């Protein structure tokens, strides 16, 4: 039976025993430091404070304990107290890099990042662990959105410790933020030349190739990553996404399935497998996996909309309506879902609901002409010609000189027996797109048959 950290750490057990019995035991300063670090790592700050207090009572001149006290003060937001303490410590030990680090931490919390960087650069002269300082400087530059300087500092961490994958990730993140993907590829290839068995580097190289749409190169990189580490779930996932782009859907399914074997099931993997089956024309299997996706995550709106689309393809419109409603309940601000809701309701001849859907799209500032025309045509179909006319005039604010709007305006004005405006809009529409005039026959057959309308059209030929 393995021991817990407390059981392995005799000073810690002794300290907690002391707290329970109100006895006073002696610890050397190093033991207090270990106890305090343990409590801070475990998030038990009240116990860390007790240890600091007792530690300073027994070792009032311990610089390290005072530094830990300053760290806790900073964490608690007591920046002024921490500043006074650190200034006193700096006077005693001006070459102690930890003093500079904690002072920089205070400046960072005040959003004075450049000043923090200046202090950290001073700390470099006194430290034996430059990588830690460079990493903190890199983070400060990231706070300033200076990704180039951040990247250079994280790269220095790699010079100290080539397998510092945290810094490697940060370097690539900075390249991403600068959209310097070609440069990232060059950096990673150089890294791989030095360590060809780094699955992390191969994985990151694959990501960069994927972003650059170099899918064959990306696939090779991910292949190397999973060859080096056959349990690398992230690499299998990225490999599957790449295979989708290459339209190798069966292989993509196999790789998504591997992620499900290696780790807990994810709604994303189920959803992508469903998409692959859809692309293979296997709609029944696709729906099965879409349903697994929403079972795994009932709030996965993309899963519900995928099921709705599959039902639409099978002309099961009532089912599709149920599933699109599930998606809208999750994300009612998504205009694509409202468009799909409109499309389904048209198929079901639920025209009032269709109008509601188009109007919702417009409220969400989806001003695509398709939405305006869809709304107008639905209103016209149910006889709400005045509303249709209002809709078209609103649309014309966004879309001037569009034949789709002018022909419909003409048809509606002729219906209202406003011959002048009907003719005016018809002539304008014919000038924009003569061939499209058949829309009048489709939407307003009685208007199209009017002698005056035929005359205008024939005179334009």
Q: Distance (Å, rounded) from C-alpha 309 to C-alpha 220?
A: 34
Query: pTM (2 decimals)?
Result: 0.80
DSSP 8-class letter at 129 = -
Q: Which CATH superfamily is domain 367-461 in?
A: Tetratricopeptide repeat domain (1.25.40.10)
- The pLDDT tens digits of the residues spanning 329-366 come to 999 999 999 999 999 999 999 999 999 999 999 999 99
6 band by pLDDT with thresholds 50, 70 and 90: very low
pLDDT at 252: 98
- The pLDDT tens digits of the residues spanning 398-431 come to 999 999 999 999 999 999 999 999 999 999 999 9
Nearest C-alpha neighbor of 47 from the set 72, 30, 29, 27: 72
**Residue 4 Cα to chain centre, angstroms:** 38
Cβ(277)–Cβ(289) below 8 Å: yes
Mean pLDDT of all residues in 382-386: 96
- The pLDDT tens digits of the residues spanning 320-337 come to 999 999 999 999 999 999
Higher pLDDT: 8 or 301? It is 301
Contacts for 157-160 with beta carbons within 8 Å, 24 or more apart? 157/131, 158/191, 160/130, 160/131, 160/134
Cβ(425)–Cβ(395) below 8 Å: no
- The total of other beta-carbon atoms located within 10 Å of residue 271's CB is 22
Cβ(39)–Cβ(68) below 8 Å: no
Query: What length is written for the chain?
Result: 461
CATH of domain 264-360: 1.25.40.10
Please give the C-alpha separations between residue 456 and each of 175, 404, 406, 452, in angstroms, as whole numbers. 62, 18, 14, 6
Cβ(330)–Cβ(299) below 8 Å: yes
pLDDT at 285: 96
pLDDT at 4: 45
- The pLDDT tens digits of the residues spanning 63-96 come to 888 888 888 888 888 888 888 888 888 888 888 8
Q: Distance (Å, rounded) from C-alpha 128 to C-alpha 245?
A: 48
Cβ(159)–Cβ(191) below 8 Å: no
Cβ(25)–Cβ(35) below 8 Å: no
Q: Distance (Å, rounded) from C-alpha 132 to C-alpha 319?
A: 58
1 band by pLDDT with thresholds 50, 70 and 90: very low
Q: Distance (Å, rounded) from C-alpha 45 to C-alpha 56?
A: 16
Mean pLDDT of all residues in 256-267: 96
The answer to whether residue 227 scores a pLDDT higher than 90 is yes
pLDDT at 60: 84
Q: Which two tokens stand for residue 263?
A: 């780790």
- The pLDDT tens digits of the residues spanning 231-250 come to 999 999 999 999 999 999 99
Higher pLDDT: 286 or 80? It is 286
Cβ(273)–Cβ(236) below 8 Å: no
- The total of other beta-carbon atoms located within 10 Å of residue 49's CB is 18
CATH 1.25.40.10 residue spans of the chain? 264-360, 367-461
5 band by pLDDT with thresholds 50, 70 and 90: very low
* Chain position carrying tokens 């509303």: 387
- The pLDDT tens digits of the residues spanning 112-164 come to 999 999 999 999 988 888 899 999 999 999 999 999 999 999 999 999 888 89
């Amino acid at each position: 039976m393995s021991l817990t950290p407390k059981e392995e750490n005799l000073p810690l057990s002794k300290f907690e025993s002391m707290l329970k019995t109100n006895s006073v035991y002696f610890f050397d300063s190093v033991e207090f430091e270990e106890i305090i670090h343990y409590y801070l790592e475990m998030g038990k700050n009240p116990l860390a404070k007790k240890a600091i207090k007792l530690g300073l009572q027994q070792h009032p001149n311990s610089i390290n304990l005072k530094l830990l006290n300053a760290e806790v003060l900073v964490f608690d937001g007591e920046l002024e107290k921490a500043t006074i303490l650190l200034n006193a410590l700096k006077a005693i030990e001006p070459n102690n890099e930890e003093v500079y680090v904690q002072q920089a931490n205070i400046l960072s919390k005040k959003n004075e990042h450049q000043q923090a960087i200046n202090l950290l650069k001073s700390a470099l002269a006194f430290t034996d662990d430059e990588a830690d300082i460079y990493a903190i400087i890199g983070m400060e530059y990231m706070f300033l959105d200076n990704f180039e300087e951040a990247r250079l500092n994280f790269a220095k961490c790699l010079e100290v410790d080539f397998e510092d994958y945290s810094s490697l990730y940060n370097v690539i993140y900075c390249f991403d933020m600068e959209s310097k993907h070609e440069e990232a590829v060059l950096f990673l290839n150089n890294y791989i030349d030095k360590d060809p068995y780094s699955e992390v580097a191969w994985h990151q190289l694959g990501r960069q190739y994927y972003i650059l749409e170099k899918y064959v190169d990306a696939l090779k990189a991910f292949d190397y990553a999973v060859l080096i580490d056959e349990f690398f779930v992230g690499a299998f996932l990225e490999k599957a996404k790449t295979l989708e782009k290459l339209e190798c859907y069966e292989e993509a399914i196999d790789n998504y399935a591997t992620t499900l074997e290696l780790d807990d099931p994810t709604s994303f993997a189920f959803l992508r497998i469903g998409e692959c089956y859809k692309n293979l024309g296997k709609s029944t299997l696709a729906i099965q996996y879409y349903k697994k996706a929403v079972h795994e995550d009932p709030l996965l709106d993309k899963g519900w909309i995928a099921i709705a689309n599959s039902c639409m393809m099978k002309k099961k419109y009532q089912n599709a309506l149920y599933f699109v409603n599930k998606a809208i309940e999750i994300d009612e601000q998504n205009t694509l879902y409202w468009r799909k809701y409109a499309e389904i309701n048209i198929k079901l001849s639920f025209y009032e609901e269709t109008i509601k859907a188009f109007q919702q799209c417009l409220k969400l500032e989806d001003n695509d002409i398709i939405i305006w025309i869809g709304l107008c045509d639905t209103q016209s179909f149910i006889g709400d010609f005045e509303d249709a006319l209002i809709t078209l005039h609103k649309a014309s604010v966004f879309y001037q000189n569009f034949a789709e709007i002018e022909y419909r305006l003409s048809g509606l004005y002729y219906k209202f027996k406003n011959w002048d405006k009907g003719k005016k809009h018809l002539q304008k529409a014919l000038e924009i797109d003569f061939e499209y005039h058949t829309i009048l026959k489709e939407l307003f057959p009685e208007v199209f048959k009017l002698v005056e309308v035929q005359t205008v059209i024939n005179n334009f030929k």
